[in-house]
Amino acid sequence: MSPAPPALDEFRTEVRAWCRDHVPTQWRSAQTGASDDEFVAFQKEWFRTLRDAGYAVPHWPKEWGGGMSVAEQVVLYQELAAHDAPRLVLPFVSIHHAASTLLAAGTDEQCRRHLPAILDGEIWCQGFSEPGAGSDMAALATTARRDGDTYVVDGQKLWASGAVHADWCLLLARTDPHAPKRRGISYFLMDMRTSGVEVRPIRQATGESHFCEIFLDGVMVPEANRVGPENEGWTVAQETLGAERGMTMLELAERLGTGGFRRLVELCARPRPDGSVPLDESVVADRLAALETEITGLRALCADFVADDRPGPADASIVKLYYSELLQRTTDFGADVAGLAAQTELRKPLSSSWESGPWVLDFIGSWEWTIPGGTSEIQRTIIGERALGLPHEPRSAT
């Protein structure tokens, strides 16, 4: 491997020094058992700290506060993980999904309104999935009926991450019930404070209530908040899903490779109560080596995807599928090595997402990642059809 350019080494030194001075200490213990209000306050403060340093949105264009190269982003995420910095869980949809959609398909006015607001702490959620549609996004039943320069929205959304804290929502609704299902959908930016919006948190197996239901009853959405032409929301949604399946994975892959794998090695090197060391066992060492190889491949795959100006039609699905299932294998192995004692770790810090420390809870939480942005089955279908050119059954509506 060739040595890093001097400028990249200087950047790493800069980030490393910043992390030593600014990454909050003891944040894991402080966020374990924290209330929702404490979680929101901590996440917003940490976001402001990263923003003020220029580290919050490195993947955004330079004119909007980003502009880092892929190599610089990799260094940044490696150092944040190495210093056990908390991850931006609350603003995740805002800085990735919402921003990517606005930059790709939003009007100049929509970008000027929302991108600076996101940097000021505006929180977004995503209203795609529905109880009767699941991952079949095109089967959504939520309707948006036009009334002059306004749309009246009725329906229900499910699995909206962080919706209880959100200011705005990326919303898909059917505007033409008679069109083929992928051609009758429009894309909206919905103010969550609008009359008729009700959010209900869903308690999960880990004890958290990160996912939510959103009920929409006569919600008025201005025409100015539609993204793209009417009935062409399916095309706009691909920008959101492309970010969810691919662009977001660069940081996640580096955190898994640097922080997650390091914790796994430390776990395997820690003596058990009987004095034996898991790493001394060949089966453990072999599995650890296999996971390291897979993680190295994931990191390279993510960096190549983000750096590619013209990615392949299924590249984002390949990255998303690879990451989500590798995360499950990694946390499963951690739970296995941790043994029975890990079963009693029933709380984790709210600001950590999957990399919390309690391996069993992290393993349970890892299953979330094979669902959003399209399940693993959907990703395999996309890869088969778009990348490999495999035949498929004719669809009744396209």
Please identify every residue annotated as catalytic: 244
Nearest to 144 by CA among 87, 100, 184: 184
Compute the distance between CA of residue 284 and CA of residue 362 in angstroms, rounded to an integer. Answer: 19
88 in Cβ contact with 42 (< 8 Å): no
Nearest to 264 by CA among 279, 280, 248: 279
Q: How far is CA 26 from the centre of its chain?
A: 24
247 in Cβ contact with 208 (< 8 Å): no
Compute the distance between CA of residue 332 and CA of residue 336 in angstroms, rounded to an integer. Answer: 6
3-class secondary-structure state, position 281: coil
DSSP 395: P
CA contacts within 13 A on the Cβ side of 5: 7
Nearest to 48 by CA among 119, 123, 122, 124: 119
3-class secondary-structure state, position 88: coil
Nearest to 21 by CA among 53, 54, 68, 66: 53
CA contacts within 13 A on the Cβ side of 9: 5
